[in-house]
Structure formats: structure tokens, C-alpha cells
Amino acid sequence: MADQIPLYPMHSAAAANRKRAAYYSAAGPGAERPRRYQLEDESAHLDEMPLMMSEEAFENDESDYHTLPRARITRRRRGLEWFVCGGWKFLCTSCCDWLINVCQRKRELRARTVWLGHPEKCEEKHPRNSIKNQKYNVFTFIPGGFVLAVTITREAIDEFRRFQRDKEVNSQLYSKLTVRGKAQVKSSDIQVGDLIIVEKNQRVPSDMVFLRTSEKAGSCFIRTDQLDGETDWKLKVAVSCTQRLPALGDLFSISAYVHAQKPQLDIHSFEGTFTREDSDPPIHESLSIENTLWASTIVASGTVIGVVIYTGKETRSVMNTSNPKNKVGLLDLELNQLTKALFLALVALSVVMVTLQGFVGPWHRNLFRFLLLFSYIIPISLRVNLDMGKAAYGWMIMADGSIPGTVVRTSTIPEELGRLVYLLTDKTGTLTQNEMVFKRLHLGTVSYGTDTMDEIQSHVRDSCSQLHSQATNSTTPRKAQPSAPKVRKSVSSRVHEAVKAIALCHNVTPVYEPRAGGTGDTEHAEVDQDFSDDNRTYQAASPDEVALVQWTESVGLTLVNRDLTSMQLRTPGGQVLTYSVLQMFPFTSETKRMGVIVRDESTAEITFYMKGADVAMSTIVQYNDWLEEECGNMAREGLRTLVVAKRTLTEEQYQDFESRHVQARLSVHDRALKVAAVLESLERDMQLLCITGVEDRLQAHVRPTLEMLRNAGIKIWMLTGDKLETATCIAKSSHLVSRTQDVHIFRPVTSRGEAHLELNAFRRKHDCALVISGDSLEVCLRYYEHELVELACQCPAVVCCRCSPTQKAHIVELLRQHTHRRTCAIGDGGNDVSMIQAADCGIGIEGKEGKAASLAADFSIQRFEHVGRLLVVHGRSSYKRSAALGQFVMHRGLVISTMQAVFSSIFYFASVPLYQGFLMVGYATVYTMFPVFSLVLDQDVKPEMALLYPELYKELTKGRSLSFKTFLIWVLISIYQGGILMCGALVLFESEFVHVVAISFTALILTELLMVALTVRTWHWLMVVAEFLSLGCYVASLAFLNEYFDVAFITTATFVWKVLAITVVSCLPLYVLKYLKRKLSPPSYSKLTS
């Protein structure tokens, strides 16, 4: 509309008024007025571009990216005219929005200054450091009537269990450092500014800045598996100013504070400063992520002291956890829709009856009478029956001996297990055991596997003894001779070089636990005193690293000591080799490699060792013709490969490198680029030593379980915080991606243009698995959310790596919104909690990463293989049973309402009840309750058959067991049976009206019992008991129902044959139809059972 408005120069007031009138008349009375300034964003143009644009066209179409914003100026009404013509609506809307914003306003997050040991100095109030996973408060349970008592009771029990779990975590005791010494404090009572002591293997209770540690090096390892899903141990460094203090109590003798950035989601970054005011000049120390201890991590070495900076809902772990929601199953939503249809039918039937009366007399009173008479159409008892059924399904799942240890924590959604289309799974600890095993060493000409490790051991022993004898003959240290002519080395020396490189190029630290009954001193003792193999454990930032060092120990070269400046190796002969660590270059996701420069103390030889992914190392090592091929072979075996290389340096070469490296690290601008450039000068023409292959062992029976789920029509996505190469490798080894399937690795993208091109490239691929990183995913979702989800859903498998906990939950939400299919998330770590809570059905595994996922999930299992039986057997049974139970309860109300309608129609549309008092109560309870509820024991196929043919699961996702089609069939059955029962009784009744009630009601009870028998597919002995128990209760109650039945008449043969005749006419046709349907169009499961 704004484009059609001409902007004329104002020659006169009259002309202006004419134009203003023309504008408003053109806009129409109800049209939305353009704002005063309308800006066109460049994104509007990009959205109009076809996604399949070629690369050339994309690059040439400059206008799409460089369209300048244009302001379009339109005139606005003024004064009373504006108010009358719609301004009052605007004012009301603005006031309402303001009130809503005031009511829902969240507290603004700000940066804070935290005084060490003085929480009272905090300028603003901070949240309590308590965890809250509860979904309700006390007031949630006040409303609700008697009918909903079962639901409320069940929810209250679930909520109480959550409360108990939260209380257990919040009541954990920690040592708090005060001026008077140490004091015990509950986790929930910790405040910002407190100095908290955390022991080894203890959970960090809140986000802290790391001040001191008992470790001499001033650093410690922490486990972050509950935060980011990675089991790699992370090295954290204490603030140097506080680590240098002589004693722990000196923390209170200094005046210092920490300035921390405002709370945020990113768990991989932190910016802050530490300031000590009482020194001259004041000490300022910058803080980064390596100086932090986030809540829910575990201290793996030493004892640490930290100052609390974030508590409660401001901690990184809680901010990355979505709020728990009340999950409602798809079957419940479908039954709600049918109940609404029944309500409309109730109103319509009542209106029809009043209309047929001719609206005579007080017709509105008669309308309400008919609404009450036909109220049995609304299945009020449905909710109670379903809730009791859900409780029964939960008990059956927990009592299943084939999946021991399974716990149902949310009892409202067992039917969801039978409707799943997408399964989103974590990798580490869920699909894998998180145990690395060294499998292969390849030297180019020779390859060693698990069965030939003894040969490596003998080669290392021979080479070490040969070197030792040479060293004893020579008294002076040899100088490095890199210019010596190349001589073909023996196999023993090549093996020894490779093993030594693996034993030196890593970030592993051997730790010796205090001996039982010892002093508990954790300081490193002398080499010949403390290095016992039984007492040594390895700490590292990656399980791969530990596996490699453990393997070198098994073949004879043992890492016995490590600190920031040196390493010591023990040879098979017992000799200890000492190496000085000159430089360390840690592994990063960008470089995909790590390196170390060491000096051999015995020979003064300086060597640069490097290892990394084959894609990173192939351009660094000397030319060879076997590296790419052998790495591919190992990857196809499901092994994680690392390429190991070395370069010998002279003293002059190293000194030159060190001076340039120091200069680059001191530069203010582009520091990272300059350091990388200096390092690249060393990464040239390196000698390729070997390729290693390490296997991350899969959980038991993961491959057949994934195969079963795929055959069941479930699409499996793997969401992991791990590296891209590792995730791809596990996806192949677990057969998540089949060996013959292509894998499309989504290139890293940072802008809208790159995402556009990469999506086009991916669109051209067909039937290939997608591997995408979290960063690229974030960019694509920002600009092309719908297109990415649409393409990804067509893939047979999707792997998302480097995902944060929030991203995992976001992916689940996207799948739910875009596909409208049921999703299931399964994980075992604290980083999976958001994903589990966001999914329609969350499954937690109790594993090495703790119980956070298990406690937050709807279902808790012990191993991944249990998922198959949980979905294919219990999910199927729960859905089928609830569908039958729900429709039968509706049928029970429809039959008696139909009888009431026929009765009223015959007797001049009188609003008189057919059955009164106890008959109506008994009909819904003791006479029919037990057989109807026994349907929760029914099953169409045996568990063994469901596991053998998982393809049967596909039919469940179509929702054919409960649909408007099946509902209409039950409605027609109800109308037919209600009409036959009432008309038959009226035709056969004798002199008194009481005989009509006796005949019709008895036939109704028998019909309901026979209909239960008709619905049952597999008989259980309890079903038979329920049938006869209900029949016995009715027969026994006849003696006490004198006011309704003529006892003399119901004991006659006439009564018996009339009741039997009506019952046969109402039920026999349905039995015949069921028989014919099974013969002519049998369901798929019946073919298997026969």
C-alpha cells in the first residue's frame, strides 16, 4: 500500500487535505496504517531468492546483499480524528502490552564485582544456589474435582519424587572458608562471594573462579561430562596471585575482588579480571575460561578453593537446561478431540429433542433436562480408566525381566513409546562405553594388530638395550646430527621411534594415589621410591590420550612422571629417561593436531613431535604413498586414527624459533595468527613415523538395536558435543550410517551467503547421511531454518557434532514443530537433560556420566539395547491397549445414551430417565468396570514376534488404532446396539413398564460383557475372572433391586429367553462381521500369529 502513495509537494492546504483524504479512502476503513518510517531490510531480498541459484549467479547478484535501506515517509493523522478513527484501539493495546510486560518482566542480568569472602558487599541480590526441577507449586493442585483425583494423585507423587531428588542435591555439604576457619554449608545456602573448598571427586556446587589448589603446579583436572558431554578431562589453572600466597588463610588478609561478565549461556568462554587493591601498584590479572570451575563439573585431582561468582539459575549448567514441561501424550490429545466431538453431539441431540417437542412450554428447562439425560455421552470415567491403565503399563515395564533396572518416572506418557518417528541420541556413554582400546599400529611397510603386540614389545626391548649399551660405552653427550646421510633403519629402531613418539607427544599426567595408612602427601617423591605400577593412574584431556599412553606402557615404555617442564619414561630394562619439555602446542578443533618440543637430557637432542588428524598431517609430513589409503582402511574398521611425525632440531634452529614465538605471543594485534605462522615454519618436511588406530568400544548390542529401530521406521539422529571426526567414525562403526552409504560433511559456514551455497550443494545429494557442526547449524537455522530441516528430514541419518546442550534442545523443538511427529531423546549426561526434557519422550541411561539424565528423563534404562524392547514391545502394547480402552469407555456411554434417546422418542419426547439411582451407578462401576479395565492386559502380538518383526511398529505411527474412522465405527455400533436393545425390550415387554427396564438393562449388561470378549485379541486368565466376577455381581445384586425389578418375573423362563434373544440380535452380527473381516482383510499381525 505504501508503494502506491504519491508524495506531492504541498502547494496548498486544500490540496494537502484532498491527498490525505484520498490516501485514507484508498487504505480502507479496516486496513493497517503504514508506520511513519518503513525500512526495508536486506533479508527481505534474500528470502525472495531461489535456493537453487547457481554459484555464479549468487556471486554476481550484488544487489541482494548491498541494497540500501530506503525510508518511506507517510503522513499520520493528528488529534481527535486520529483518536476516533482507531487511535483508541492503539492506546488500549499499548496499555495492555505495558501491563503484560510489567507482570512478566525478568530481572536484567548484569556484570558483577565479587569481593572475596564478603557476600554482604554485593550491591544487588542474587538467586539462591538451589536446584529446582519441579513443574508445579502447591496452588497447582487446589482446583480439580473428584473425577480428576486419580490424575492429581499420580502427578503429586511424581512431583514429590522430583522434590526429594532436588532436596538430596541441595543438601550436599561443602566446606566454606571464613575468617574463623572452615565451616560446613549446604549447597543451597552458598552465596556469591563465598570461598568454597571442593575436594577431589566432589561436584562443584556453583560457578566459581579458581583461586588455589593443593597441587604444586597450580593447576588441576576437572571432569565436564555432566556439562558438555565430553569425558575428556579439562586442565584448569588457578589465579597466580592467590596461588602464590603462603597459606590458605592469607586469602582474608588481602583486599581483592573479581569482576565477572554478566551470566550467559556459552560454557566455552569467560571474560573477567582479578584485582588486588592492597599491593603497590595494584595487581590486575585477566581471567579466561581456564580460570573457571563451572557448576556440575567434578574435581578430578587435588583440592581446590574458588570464589563463587554465579549461583542457582544464573549458573552455566542451569542456563543451558530448559525448564521442565508437563508432557501430554498424542493419544490423550486425540481422545480430547473425540471428547469435544461427543460434547457437540450431546448438545445437538438435546436441541433436536427439544425441536421435535415443538418448543412447547418451558423449552429451555427441557433442554437442560435432555442435557442431563444424555450426559453419559461424555465419558467422564475415561480419564480415571486411562490413568489407572497408564499406572498398570508403568508397572509392567518395571517388572519386565528382559530390561532390568528400567524405571518409569513420568507415568502419563507410556503410549508415546509406540508413536515415535525420530530418535535423537547422544554418543559418548550412550552408544559407546567411553572406553578406548589401542587396536592398530601401522609403519607403512608393516602393520601390527592386537594379536602381534608381543612383536612390538620385543622390538622395543631390543632397541632400548642396544641404545643403553651404546650410552654406557660413550661418556660424553652426543650432539644432534640432522644432516647425517639417510640410512635405511631396522624395523626395531623404527618401532622404537614410533612408540617413543607416542609416549612423549601427549598431555597425560601420571598420578600416584596416597597409600593406605600413609601420610596422604600428594607431592611427587623420588623416582626410585614412588613409581609403583599398581598405584599409578593417568589423567588426560582425552580418553584417546590415556589409551595411547597405556598402550606404550604395555609394550615396555612407561610414562612414570610428568610436570609442566619435564617428562620421565622407564624402559623395559628399568632405565629412566628424562626429557625436558621446551614447548607445548595443545590440540584445537581448528588445527586438528598437537605438538611438543622436548630435549633428551642424556643426548641433548631436541625433537619436535606432532600428531593429529590425517587431513591436517598429510600436508606436513614428507611425501609418501600409503598414508591416505591406510587411514581410510582404519576408518572403515571404525578406528579413530592419528598420524604421528617428528622433526629433529639443532640448538640454533630451536633458539631462532623460540625468539620468534615469544615475540609473536607478546604482540597485541592478531596474536593467534602470528603464533600460528611461527609454528607453521616448523611444520615442514616432517618425518612420518606411524599411524595409530584406537577403538571406542560400543555399548553391547548397539548395532542390532539400531538396525531394529531403523527397520521399525524410526529415523535416528546423533547429537554430540564431540569432534566431527570422532562423531563420524562412531556413526560408521555403530552402523548408524551403513558402510555403503555416502556421507555429506557440511562445510563450516559463517555467513548467509556461504550457508546458501552449501545448502544448494547438499540439496543435489541423494540418500546420503548428513554430518554438520553446531556452528554451521546455528548459521543455517538463523537464515534457512525451514529449508535445512526439510532437507535433513529426508536423510536416512543425521549427525550433529559440537552441539551445546541448548542446541540439542533446539534441534528437538525444530523437529517437533516442522514435522509434527513424535520425538524421543536419549542420553546419559547432564548435557543431555535439556534435550530429554524438550522431546515428547525422554529416556535417560544411568552410566559413567552420572544420574542427571536418568533423573530428569521420563524413562530410565540401564543400557542402550533396552530401548528396542521398550519401544517395540511396551510402546506397542501401551498404545494399542489405551486406544481400545478409550474407545470402549466411549462406547459404553453412547449405548446407554442411545437407549435413552429411543425411549424418549417413543414416549412423545418426554425428558424422563430410563434408568435411575443405583442402576446408573452400577452400570459404570461394578457391572462393567472390571472387564473393560482388563483390556489393559490385551496384546495383539507376542513380545517375541514384535521383536522379530519390528516393521510392525511402522503402522503405529500412522495412528490407525485410534482415529475418527475407528471412532465413527464405534459410534455406529453403539447406535445399532442401543436401538436394538431398547426397541427389542419395548416390543417384548408385557403388561408393566418395569419389565421393560428389567429386560433392557439385563440385555445391556450381557451385551457389554460380550463386546469386551469381542474386542479381546489374546485372552488372559484375569480377563476371564473379570467377566465372570462382573456377571456374578449383577446376578447377586438382582435380589436387592426390588424397586427396579420384579423378582417374580426375572426368575421366569420368559424373561430369560427374551433377554437372550435381544442380546443375540445385538451382538451376533458384530461377531459375524469380525470373522469375515479377519478372513477377507486380516491385519498384518494376524498373518504372523497364524
Tell me how long the chain is.
1090
What residues are labeled active site?
A: 426
Secondary structure E strands in 219-342:
219-223, 233-237, 256-260, 272-276, 283-287, 292-293, 298-299, 304-310
Using alpha carbons only, how large is the chain's radius of gyration in Å? 38
Residue carrying C-alpha cell 426375572: 1050
Q: How far apart are CA 1062 and CA 1064, in angstroms?
A: 6
Give whole-number Cα distances, 700 to 2, 401, 429, 715, 1048, in Å: 65, 17, 11, 21, 70
Q: How far apart are CA 531 and CA 258, in angstroms?
A: 40
CB 959 within 8 A of CB 977: no
Q: Amino acid letter at 681?
A: S
- The x, y and z cell numbers of residue 862, run together, are 540401564
Report helix, strand and coil shares of the chain as percent, to nearest 5: 50, 20, 35
CA 227 distance to own-chain centroid: 13
Of 1003, 987, 1004, 997, nearest in space to 1049 by CA: 997
Question: Which backbone phi and psi does 198 adopt, to 5 degrees?
Answer: -120, 125
Q: How far apart are CA 483 and CA 321, in angstroms?
A: 59
CB atoms within 10 A of CB 530: 15
Close Cβ partners of 947 (under 8 Å, ≥ 6 residues apart): 708, 868, 869, 872, 873
Sheet of 219-223, strands arranged across: 233-237, 219-223, 298-299
End-to-end C-alpha distance for the chain, whole angstroms: 69
CB 1007 within 8 A of CB 1059: no
**SS3 per residue for 231-266:** CCEEEEECCHHHHCCCCHHHHHCCCEEEEECCCCCC
The three-state secondary structure class of 105 is coil
Q: How far apart are CA 808 and CA 815, in angstroms?
A: 11
Q: How far apart are CA 659 and CA 327, in angstroms?
A: 62
If 0-12 CB within 10 Å is exposed, 13-18 middle and 19+ buried, where does residue 387 land?
A: buried
If 0-12 CB within 10 Å is exposed, 13-18 middle and 19+ buried, where does residue 414 land?
A: buried
CB 508 within 8 A of CB 546: yes
DSSP 187-209: GGG--TT-EEEE-TTPBP-SEEE
DSSP 694-726: EEEEEPTTHHHHHHHHHHTT-EEEEE-SS-HHH
Residue carrying C-alpha cell 501430554: 328
CB 131 within 8 A of CB 170: yes
Close Cβ partners of 293 (under 8 Å, ≥ 6 residues apart): 198, 204, 207, 208, 209, 210, 222, 236, 299, 304, 306
Question: Which backbone phi and psi does 205 adopt, to 5 degrees?
Answer: -80, -25
Q: How far apart are CA 682 and CA 659, in angstroms?
A: 13
- The x, y and z cell numbers of residue 1078, run together, are 479377519
Q: How far apart are CA 42 and CA 832, in angstroms?
A: 37
